[in-house]
Amino acid sequence: MDGWQTSEQFENSPSLKWMADELGVSTTAAYRLCVVFNFATLVTLILIPLRSKLPAMFRDRTEFIGQTLEDA
Question: How do residues 31-46 score in pLDDT, each as one tens digit?
Answer: 899 999 999 999 999 9
Tell me if residue 41 falls in helix, strand or coil: helix
> Does residue 32 sit within a domain?
yes
Report the chain's C-alpha Rg in angstroms.
22
> Does residue 62 sit within a domain?
yes
> Does residue 2 sit within a domain?
no
- pLDDT of residue 2 exceeding 60, the answer is no
How high is the pLDDT of residue 1? 47
Whether 46 and 60 have beta carbons less than 8 Å apart is answered as no
Distances (CA, A) of 16 to 6, 26, 31, 59: 14, 10, 7, 44
Split into its structural domains, the chain has a count of 1
> Does residue 58 sit within a domain?
yes
For the whole prediction, is pTM greater than 0.95? no
> Does residue 1 sit within a domain?
no
In the structure, what pLDDT confidence band is assigned to residue 20 with cuts at 50, 70 and 90? very high
Mean pLDDT, the chain, rounded, equals 87
Range of the domain at 29: 7-71
Whether 44 and 51 have beta carbons less than 8 Å apart is answered as no
